[in-house]
Amino acid sequence: MAAALDARRVVAAYGEDYGTRYFKYGPLMERKPRIMESVGLFLEDSPLLREVYGIDKKLVVDYSEVMRYLGAKEMLVRNLIYPLKDGEIKREDERSWMVVTELTRKGLKQFEDYKKKEGFEGFYVTAAIAARAPEYMVEKLLEVHAKIDRETGLVKAFTVIAQPLAVAIAEKELTCVVVESGHGNTQITPINSYPIREAIISLYRGGAEADAVAAEVLKDLGYGDLASDEKAVRRFKEEAGLVPLDLDRAVRAARENPQKFSCRVKLSPLLEIDLEDRGWYRFLIGEVVFNPRHEIYESYKKRGVLNIRPTVVGDRTIEGDVPLSDAILQSISETPVGIHELLLKKVILSGGNFQWRVPEELKGVAVSAREKVEHMLRARGLSVEVRMTEDPQSSVWKGCVVWSLALPDSYLWDENRGEGWFKRGVHY
């Protein structure tokens, strides 16, 4: 497209990925997104902050900023807001929308120096949200960006696409199945030029469930006081967690040779966790996103540690603990028969929740997310090809900036289709 050759559009192309845990944002020119944690803290009125430190903010966002003001746990329960739950925000949840607005504003204002660039009139912003996000979320994001543009002059045009479509764009694939797994959900989206909406299955599980299992493992190891420390739990999950090719075999191997599968995780200069002879716990952390239906998780479900709500697709209800391979096949089965084989040949994994380590000495027992999904599907007697995006955490953002670069300037917002540019001077 002509826009792709326009040097001014290259400068103005900007992407936003509204993930449940992380907000990734920034211009194409930066080559990779910046990242803020999707969290906000509403500050209670404090003479100390106001009079002594000169701080009169009512809301701070991103954990690096929030942690400066952390106080009593009771205050956190009242005032700490994670706006996106399973990739969605309720229409009437005013405080969450305030957090999202502030995250968006803070992100854009980090690039105010772009106003000095010749010919720059504002960014062409493409935002990515969950494939099954309700339509009112698009409407609210239109309002948010128009408001920020009135304040800053940084948004010339704005549009929205589904996160899995952004992945397909980044991967330059017209026909594929994108499995995008983040903190709050795992989206299975068959794409044939556009997402086949009737076939999308959004499982309400992701990194949060792996965190929950990691917290229980910490409790079982005698570190119950750390189970409520999100940073500690996440660090422990990322360092200790493993994805097994086959869970039963992995647990058996780890119990037979505990020294080989054990590990130490240093959480701070003062604290190190030693799994000693319970290295098999590591596989429980990684398996849960792929198959929480395994009987080993029954006690977690009874204790309320795992309580994954079902997904409703048309007139069907899909249980939240369905094995990932089953969900992928159910999704493909809802597409035209003529593209089933094409879809099975291009299953693309994306998202931070698929970035699992595979220690060299444990290869074969522990595997990558790609190997796991391919194994699960081939166990069903299918010829499949699964691949991981080059940068799972950034592929959605990459697709956004490519879309910002390529979508013609003349293609204006179409409310019925939910696409096109929502532009300054035209729509507001």
Residue pLDDT, tens place only, 205-234? 999 999 999 999 999 999 999 998 888 999
Each residue of 98-115: pLDDT tens digit?
A: 999 999 999 999 999 999
Predicted pLDDT at 79: 76
Q: Is the pLDDT of residue 161 over 80?
A: yes
Dump pLDDT digits (tens) for 285-316.
999 999 999 999 999 999 999 999 998 877 88
The whole model's pTM is what? 0.89
Are the CB atoms for 142 and 423 separated by under 8 Å? no
Residue 252 is predicted with a pLDDT of 97
Find the length of the chain: 428
The Cα 372–Cα 423 span in angstroms is 44
Domain residue ranges in the chain: 2-169+393-423, 206-307+352-388
The pLDDT of residue 51: 37
**Domains 2-169+393-423 and 206-307+352-388 equal at CATH topology level:** yes
Q: Is 170 exposed, middle or buried (0-12, 13-18, 19+ CB in 10 A)?
A: buried
If pLDDT is split at 50, 70 and 90, which confidence band does 342 have? very high
CB 220 within 8 A of CB 273: no
Q: Is a pLDDT exceeding 50 seen at residue 38?
A: yes
Under the banding of pLDDT at 50, 70 and 90, the label for residue 49 is very low
Rounded CA-CA distance 184/254 in Å is 30
**Res 75 pLDDT > 60:** no
* The pair of three-digit structure tokens given for residue 14, joined into one six-digit string: 């900007």
Q: What is the pLDDT of residue 57?
A: 66
User: What is the tens place of the pLDDT at every residue in 256-290?
Assistant: 999 999 999 999 898 999 999 999 999 999 999 99
Q: How many helices (H) and strands (E) does the chain have?
A: 17, 21
Give residue 276's region: left, alpha or beta (phi > 0; psi -120 to 50): left
Quote the pLDDT of residue 60. Answer: 83
How many other CB atoms are found less than 10 A from the CB of residue 75? 15
pLDDT at 256: 96
In terms of Cβ atoms closer than 10 Å to its own Cβ (0-12, 13-18, 19+), residue 39 is buried
* pLDDT value, residue 5: 55
Q: Judge residue 40's burial from the number of C-beta atoms within 10 Å of its C-beta, 0-12 exposed, 13-18 middle, 19 or more buried.
A: buried
Question: Residues 113-144: pLDDT tens digits?
Answer: 999 998 899 999 999 999 889 999 999 999 99
Q: How far is the C-alpha of 365 from the C-alpha of 253, rounded, in Å? A: 8
Residue 11 has pLDDT above 60, yes or no: yes
pLDDT for position 41: 86
Instruction: Please give the CATH number for the structural domain made up of 206-307+352-388.
Output: 3.30.420.570
- DSSP string across 44-82: PP-HIIIIIS----SEEESHHHHGGG---HHHHHHHEE-
Distance of CA 304 to the CA centre of its chain: 23
More confident residue, 41 or 412: 412
- Inform me whether the pLDDT recorded for 362 exceeds 70: yes
Residue 382: pLDDT over 70: yes
The architecture CATH gives domain 2-169+393-423: 2-Layer Sandwich (3.30)
Q: Residue 85 has what pLDDT?
A: 85
**Average pLDDT of the segment spanning 177-186:** 93
| Amino acid 169: pLDDT | 96
Q: At 57, give phi and psi (nearest 5°).
A: -70, 145
